[in-house]
């Protein structure tokens, strides 16, 4: 078993389409920033993703994610995040219409999510589908779109990852979107409105934490952000802002 594990880890380092997610905190623990397990840079910007227009690249992304799900299970993590695609096409730039219709997008994504969901279930982990904003992906931009795909797959091992930066761009009401997605919400990634650390923009963190608490969200708040300023101080700011948001929620 040991040589097989080393081989899996080597494949994992060579092909990393998603982001590893640690096990959720103990019941009753406050949401807070948490270092990811597995690897720090979750998304290979030049690698294939499940919604790729090229069937071979899409299949390659599925193979890579299967390997990553197995590795994160061995490492004791809870799952892996992936978007449908990244930087492949935007309806905001010419030619404005993608080469594959929405029905084709849905078919490709459902097939990939079903395959990966079954593998994740067998491994005892979860695949988290992350909506990206309209400038980074044209297929899955909002939480309700990700929820619809998860519901269609119908597996508890396929859930939604919410990212506050993308939500700030795409959602009419961040809190209403979180409440509507609550049954499928498995992971939350945080950055401020400008993609920097919490506290560097104008997001109301106390309101966000209050919403997540009211929903009974049991997971981590994973920092996925750029750092403005000296890195150590920026990270300290993020922790302080999130802890202050939690204390304000308790006081309220």
Question: Which residues participate in catalysis according to the annotation?
Answer: 130, 224
**Cβ–Cβ < 8 Å for 29, 243:** no
Eight-state DSSP code of residue 95: T
Assign 17 to helix, strand or coil. Answer: coil
**Cβ–Cβ < 8 Å for 186, 226:** no
Residue 38's contacts (CB-CB under 8 Å, 6 or more residues apart) are 12, 20, 68, 71, 72, 75, 77, 80
Which residue reads 């404005």 in tokens?
A: 96
Query: Comparing C-alpha atoms, which of 191, 183, 249 is closest to residue 216?
Result: 183
**Cβ–Cβ < 8 Å for 42, 104:** no
**Cβ–Cβ < 8 Å for 160, 190:** no
DSSP annotation string for 106-158:
HHHHHHHHHHHHHHHHHHT-EEEE----TTT-SS--SHHHHHHHHHHHT-TTE
């Amino acid at each position: 078993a040991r040589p097989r594990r080393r081989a899996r880890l080597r494949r994992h380092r060579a092909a990393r389409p998603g982001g590893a997610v640690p096990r959720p905190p103990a019941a009753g623990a406050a949401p807070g920033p948490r270092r990811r397990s597995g690897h720090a840079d979750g998304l290979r910007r030049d690698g294939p993703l499940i919604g790729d227009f090229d069937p071979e690249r899409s299949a390659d992304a599925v193979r890579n994610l299967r390997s990553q799900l197995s590795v994160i299970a061995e490492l004791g993590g809870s799952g892996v995040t992936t978007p449908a695609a990244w930087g492949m096409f935007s309806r905001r730039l010419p030619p404005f219409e993608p080469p594959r219709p929405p029905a084709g997008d849905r078919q490709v994504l459902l097939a990939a999510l079903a395959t990966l969901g079954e593998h994740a279930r067998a491994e005892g982990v979860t695949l988290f589908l992350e909506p990206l904003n309209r400038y980074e992906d044209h297929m899955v931009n909002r939480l309700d779109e990700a929820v619809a795909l998860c519901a269609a797959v119908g597996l508890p091992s396929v859930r939604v990852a919410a990212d506050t930066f993308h939500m700030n761009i795409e959602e009419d009401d961040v809190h209403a979107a979180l409440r509507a997605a609550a049954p499928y919400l498995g992971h939350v990634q945080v950055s401020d409105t400008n993609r920097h650390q919490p506290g560097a923009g104008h997001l109301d963190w106390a309101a966000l934490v209050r919403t997540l608490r009211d929903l009974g969200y049991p997971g981590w708040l994973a920092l996925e952000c750029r750092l403005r300023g000296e890195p150590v101080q920026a990270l300290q700011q993020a922790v302080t802002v999130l802890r202050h948001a939690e204390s304000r929620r308790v006081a309220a």
